[in-house]
Amino acid sequence: MKLYEMLATTHYYQKTWIFENNACDQNMPLFKGMADDARKDDVIWDWLMCDVELYYCEYGTLVILVRDENYNERLEKHYLYSDRWGTEKEKRPWRTSSEIDMELKKQDEND
């Protein structure tokens, strides 16, 4: 399934998180918000034809992992200045699957 197909069948008010996913379990956030806003988002526009690797709904949020075009490479290999990221969670932009789940749970507790 392509991302545009997933967004077309999702209710417009559905809370949605979209991540770029690779084989190293590095998930780069692309979008967080309502599905209707994702359909209009300029960043998501570039990803609409990409394959959906995995999707699930947890704590009322639809999480969509889109397959990265460089799926077998680490994110650091195709992002500029990625040497500044380091390994600390607070400094790097990507999240592992378990970190995404922890963020979802924390958000649910705050809502």
Token reading at 43? 């960043």
Q: Distance between CA atoms of 55 and 101, rounded to whole angstroms?
A: 13
- Quote the pTM value: 0.92
Q: Is residue 110, in this structure, part of any structural domain at all?
A: no
Q: Are strands 61-67 and 27-34 parallel, antiparallel or unpaired?
A: unpaired
Residues of the domain holding 34: 3-103
Helices (H) and strands (E) in the chain, counts: 4, 4
Strand, helix or coil for residue 109: helix
Q: Report the number of distinct structural domains present in the chain.
A: 1
| pLDDT recorded at residue 63 | 97
Q: Is residue 78, in this structure, part of any structural domain at all?
A: yes
Q: Is residue 63, in this structure, part of any structural domain at all?
A: yes
Token reading at 101? 């789940």
Per-residue pLDDT tens over the stretch 8-23? 999 989 999 999 999 9
Per-residue pLDDT tens over the stretch 71-96? 999 988 888 888 888 878 888 999 99
Please state, as a whole number, how many other Cβ atoms lie within 10 Å of the Cβ of residue 93: 12
Q: Is residue 77, in this structure, part of any structural domain at all?
A: yes
